[in-house]
Amino acid sequence: MNTEELQKLREDYSKNALNESEVDANPVKQFEVWMEEAADAKVPEPNAMTLSTVDMQNKPHSRVVLLKGIEDDNFIFYTNYESDKGREIESNKHVALCFLWLELERQVRVEGTVEKISTEESEGYFKERPYKSQLGALASNQSSVVPNREFLEDRFEEMREKYNEGEVPKPKSWGGYKVTPEYFEFWQGRRSRLHDRIRYEKVGNKWDIKRLSP
């Protein structure tokens, strides 16, 4: 697809509206409403979110991970602590999340700080994962260079031969993080590019709610 064809790609959004007088005073509750609506609308993997981190050279990096819980207004996800994102989080606790639900013409941005959850919580979730997902986490040294696909599949088979279902140990380098939000932006597509943007910003113990220009 050439530049001219790309420039012609556009949609005029008209499905919903978002008014500051109607949103919940707590952005996490507002997020949960939208997440439920995305699930009800059969949006594929509505819990998929872009996670952005910054490395020690101040270079940003983004990738898609899955939201696996909301606890005490914190957003929970799991990964390998020794992965690129894990090392970047270790050096810079500030992260950004972005959810996109195109079917509803909606986007949510979340910014905040991140920290590890307890080992006990990570152990509990790991035990609930499907057997093959457990083996995959054990077989993969995430973000490390491997010679080929066969190497990974051989490692997977080694783990399957070594551990029966229900016996797979959680890797020490694998576990959960929680993001404590400090900023939200709820974006609702509207006609003529006059989109609705509602911002929540933490001021002390309260959330300040403002409308932003699209």
Name the strand (E) or helix (H) holding 162. Answer: helix 149-162
pLDDT higher than 90, residue 202: yes
Residue 92 CB burial class (10 angstroms; 0-12, 13-18, ≥19) = middle
Q: Which of 63, 190, 193, 197 is catalytic?
A: 193
Distance CA 36, CA 116 (A): 26
Residue corresponding to tokens 């050279």: 57
Secondary structure class of 135 (helix, strand, coil)? helix
- What are the tokens at 59? 């270079």
Contact 21, 193 (CB under 8 A): no
- Tens-place pLDDT, residues 50-84: 999 999 999 999 999 999 999 999 999 999 999 99
- Report helix, strand or coil for 14: coil
Element of type H or E holding 131: helix 131-139
Q: Which tokens go with 62?
A: 């983004």
Single out the residue of 200, 23, 210 nearest to residue 111, CA to CA: 200
Position 153 scores a pLDDT of 94
Of the listed ranges 68-72, 75-79, 106-110, 139-143, the least confidently predicted one is: 139-143
- Using one digit for the tens of pLDDT, what is the confidence trace for 5-50? 888 888 888 899 999 999 999 999 999 999 999 999 999 999 999 9
pTM: 0.92
Query: Which helix or strand (DSSP H or E) is residue 197 part of?
Result: strand 196-203
Domains in the chain, CATH or no CATH each = 11-118+174-212 (2.30.110.10)
Structure confidence at residue 49 (pLDDT): 98
More confident position, 53 or 146: 53
* CB 114 within 8 Å of CB 96: no
pLDDT of residue 97: 98
Which amino acid is located at 69 in the chain? G
For residue 115, what pLDDT is reported? 98
Mean of pLDDT values over 82-107: 97
What is the number of other CB atoms lying within 10 angstroms of the CB of residue 163?
Answer: 15
Give the rounded percent of residues in the chain with a pLDDT score beyond 70.
100
Q: Smallest Cα–Cα separation from 41: which of 21, 9, 16, 75?
A: 16
CA distance linking residue 78 with residue 182, whole number of Å: 20
CB 200 within 8 A of CB 182: no
Q: Tell me, yes or no, if 193 is annotated catalytic.
A: yes
Residue written as token pair 């690129």: 84
